[in-house]
Amino acid sequence: MRLRFRDFTTLAVITGALVSRTQAQCPDYTTYSQVPHDPRSTGPLALPYMRPAPACRTFNSTAKVISDMKSLLKDPDLARLFENTFPNTLDTTVKYYSESENLAFIITGDITAQWLRDTANQFAHYHSLLSVDPKLATLVKAVINNEARYVAQYPYCGSFQPPPESGLAPSVNDWAVGVTVNPPVNNQTVFECKYEIDSLCGFLKLSRSYYNATKDASFMNSNWRAAIDQIFRVINEQSQGTFDENFNFVSYYNWTGGGGSLSPMVNNDGNGEPKAYTGLVGTHHRPSDDLSIFAFLTPANAMLSVELTNLAQILDHAGQLRNVSQQAKEWSSKIESAIWKTTVVDNIFAYETNGLGSRYVMDDANVPSLISLPYLGFLEKTHPAYVATRKLLLSRNNPYYAAGKTFNGIGGPHVDPWNPWPMSHISAIFGTDNDQEILQSLYTIANNTDGLGLIHESQSIYNSSSYTRSWFAWANSYFAEMILDLADRKPGLILKQNKSYKPGK
Ligand SMILES: *[C@@H]1O[C@H](CO)[C@@H](O)[C@H](O)[C@H]1NC(C)=O
Ligand SMILES: *[C@@H]1O[C@H](CO)[C@@H](O)[C@H](O)[C@H]1NC(C)=O
Ligand SMILES: *[C@@H]1O[C@H](CO)[C@@H](O)[C@H](O)[C@H]1NC(C)=O
Ligand SMILES: *[C@@H]1O[C@H](CO)[C@@H](O)[C@H](O)[C@H]1NC(C)=O
Ligand SMILES: *[C@@H]1O[C@H](CO)[C@@H](O)[C@H](O)[C@H]1NC(C)=O
Ligand SMILES: *[C@@H]1O[C@H](CO)[C@@H](O)[C@H](O)[C@H]1NC(C)=O
Ligand SMILES: *[C@@H]1O[C@H](CO)[C@@H](O)[C@H](O)[C@H]1NC(C)=O
Ligand SMILES: *[C@@H]1O[C@H](CO)[C@@H](O)[C@H](O)[C@H]1NC(C)=O
């Protein structure tokens, strides 16, 4: 996701009826995050302290991960980055929460809307805390229930308005005005209805992480079961070929309109490029919210395969919905074998395919991406196909790789080819055990925050003070998740002592 820096002001239109009196006096974090605040870290980067004042934080966790990590990390600049990024989701994005209603509305950052994909990732680094911080677990359960209602009603959409119970006004999405979606949606509930299969994977990931940490199956309520049914409906519909055997045109979802929307018009009456059945599930837009070139997005299918296996596991463990578990297992293995059979040539994964022989070899920084395949749990980082594909993706052979004097990485057409995303380096770190590569990526990120100590969406390779999105909660969470992974997997590299640290233990 999704916005260009210059667009911030047009979207900052949101009013929150339930914002408390104290919070009403809090500075807007979009503005706050564009200016460095003291005190500075004591390392060479002298990074600012970017947490909002305690009274302005939107949720307080009791877990003591931040103080633990501050005393364990060798480099005070990395410690400051961790201190700023780890709590960013709880500090700034819990726009509405009611424990009694079992509803929570989590914004992406600088846009007052909840993306299914972003939310799952915004909370990914808190998973291990859910067993030690029951209040945090209850918040996550409320997030899942709110999302279950969205997915049950609008499984093709990825971004949503506040629940009516919140009293928060829906925000007008300039880019959705003039867009027609079939099946139609109500803009009081839906912020944007681009169909991206990984959004549904995000919902599944949040659900299984909650269950894995708490073993509490109470979130599997009627909303959740209805959402799961809708996910299988989408899988069934979007795996079909564009033409049936008699050349009837098959369309369950289409997105038309142009003027003002961020993505270009979708050709073929809003259906995109034709595809043939392979066992993969098609998508319409990418995790960046940009239009797909070909419908079968390999990394999103990889994530879907992994999350369907996880879904089957939690259902079996909880003794629920055997029919769904069975279908989940069948689809998971069908998708996995289709990935190996139809997307890999000479050990190189294509980013997108159409089932008719066409492939697009590239990567886009937004997760799920090809470079994040190990992070997604699809394969081992030592798998020869990953090693070969990774090498290609971090070279000129990937059209969206770019390198300048101080910054480099993988970007995407969402911003432009000369603005790689720090997120691509985070994914790259998850995908290697090589200490030099890890440190190189880690300090490429740390050196390129424009002195602001937060993780941005993209960064120009030509100008170190030109970046997009000062407040991008997912990128902050992903960075903190990666630091925690290193503290466990490679402690000697970043901690004072070569001893694994696991939060919540
Ligand atoms: C978080 O704690 C601070 C006090 O440290 C308090 O002022 C603030 O209201 C709390 N935030 C929430 C959402 O409870
Ligand atoms: C919903 O759509 C109507 C009609 O296009 C528009 O006037 C209104 O501003 C939209 N509301 C929101 C919250 O997007
Ligand atoms: C658009 O999708 C709807 C189903 O939501 C379908 O009935 C209709 O035929 C599709 N239109 C086109 C032009 O593909
Ligand atoms: C479940 O939790 C354990 C312990 O934190 C973790 O190692 C494992 O990866 C988790 N599995 C899933 C599917 O979330
Ligand atoms: C599973 O079975 C339940 C109850 O019989 C049914 O309501 C649901 O639609 C089924 N789900 C799937 C995905 O087949
Ligand atoms: C980061 O900046 C430091 C100077 O502060 C420099 O020594 C180091 O080489 C840079 N690292 C990377 C990976 O750019
Ligand atoms: C670098 O980017 C900043 C922020 O957009 C801008 O103010 C500055 O003029 C740019 N510098 C050059 C040399 O283009
Ligand atoms: C940390 O210990 C592991 C094995 O216990 C070793 O392989 C690694 O080289 C050590 N790292 C450092 C930086 O000392």
Q: What is the DSSP string of 38-77?
A: SSPPSSTT-----PPPGGG-S------HHHHHHHHBS-HH
The ligand with the least distance to the CA atom of 184 is 3
**Quick check: 4 pLDDT over 60?**
no
| 380 C-alpha to ligand 5 centroid (Å) | 34
Helix (H, G, I), strand (E, B) or coil at 16: coil
Rounded to whole angstroms, the Cα distance separating 132 from 125 reads 14
CB 138 within 8 A of CB 99: yes
**Quick check: 118 pLDDT over 80?**
yes
Using a 6 Å cutoff on CB, does residue 254 contact ligand 3? yes
How confident is the model at residue 63, as a pLDDT? 86
Could you tell me whether strands 190-192 and 159-160 are parallel, antiparallel, or unpaired per DSSP bridges? antiparallel
Q: C-alpha distances in angstroms, 18 versus 24, 96, 373, 398?
A: 10, 8, 40, 47
Using a 6 Å cutoff on CB, does residue 180 contact ligand 3? no
pLDDT band at 255; cut points 50, 70, 90: very high
226 residue type, one letter? A
How confident is the model at residue 174, as a pLDDT? 85
Q: What mean pLDDT is reported for the chain? A: 94
DSSP characters over 415-428: TBTT---HHHHHHH
Residue minimizing CA distance to atom 1 of ligand 6: 447
Average the pLDDT over 317-337 and give the result. Answer: 98
CB 211 within 8 A of CB 307: no
- Could you identify the atom of ligand 2 that is nearest to the CA of residue 172? 14
Q: What is the pLDDT of residues 407-465, one digit of tens each?
A: 999 999 999 999 999 999 999 999 999 999 999 999 999 999 999 999 999 999 999 99
The ligand with the least distance to the CA atom of 486 is 8
User: In testing the pocket of ligand 1, which one of 60, 90, 139 has its CB within 8 Å of the most ligand atoms?
Assistant: 60
pLDDT band at 24; cut points 50, 70, 90: confident
| 195 C-alpha to ligand 3 centroid (Å) | 14
Rounded to whole angstroms, the Cα distance separating 301 from 291 reads 17
pLDDT band at 259; cut points 50, 70, 90: low
The more confidently predicted of residues 62 and 327 is: 327
The ligand with the least distance to the CA atom of 139 is 1
**And the tokens for 253?**
């979802």
| 467 C-alpha to ligand 7 centroid (Å) | 10
How confident is the model at residue 266, as a pLDDT? 86
pTM for the model? 0.95
Residue minimizing CA distance to atom 11 of ligand 2: 172
Residue minimizing CA distance to atom 9 of ligand 8: 492
pLDDT band at 177; cut points 50, 70, 90: confident
Give the rounded percent of residues in the chain with a pLDDT score beyond 90.
Answer: 90
Q: C-alpha distances in angstroms, 19 versus 23, 24, 32, 95, 105?
A: 6, 6, 18, 8, 13
Using a 6 Å cutoff on CB, does residue 251 contact ligand 3? yes
Rounded to whole angstroms, the Cα distance separating 489 from 352 reads 32
Residue with tokens 């990732």: 121
- Could you identify the atom of ligand 4 that is nearest to the CA of residue 310? 13
Within 215-342, where are the H helices? 222-238, 267-270, 298-318, 322-342
> What secondary structure, in 3-state letters, does 325-360 show?
HHHHHHHHHHHHHHHHHHCEECCEECCEECCCCCEE
The ligand with the least distance to the CA atom of 61 is 1
* Lowest-confidence pick of 118-127, 171-180, 341-350, 474-483: 171-180
How confident is the model at residue 17, as a pLDDT? 35
Average the pLDDT over 79-98 and give the result. Answer: 98
106 residue type, one letter? I
Complete domains list, the chain, with CATH: 99-399 (1.50.10.10)
| 487 C-alpha to ligand 8 centroid (Å) | 12
**Quick check: 2 pLDDT over 90?**
no
How confident is the model at residue 261, as a pLDDT? 55
Residue with tokens 């939107």: 58
**And the tokens for 220?**
């599997």
Tally Cβ neighbours within 10 Å of residue 243. 14
CB 109 within 8 A of CB 469: yes
**Quick check: 14 pLDDT over 60?**
no
User: In testing the pocket of ligand 3, which one of 154, 193, 252 has its CB within 8 Å of the most ligand atoms?
Assistant: 252
The ligand with the least distance to the CA atom of 311 is 4
Rounded to whole angstroms, the Cα distance separating 235 from 197 reads 8
433 class by beta-carbon count within 10 Å (0-12 exposed, 13-18 middle, 19+ buried): exposed
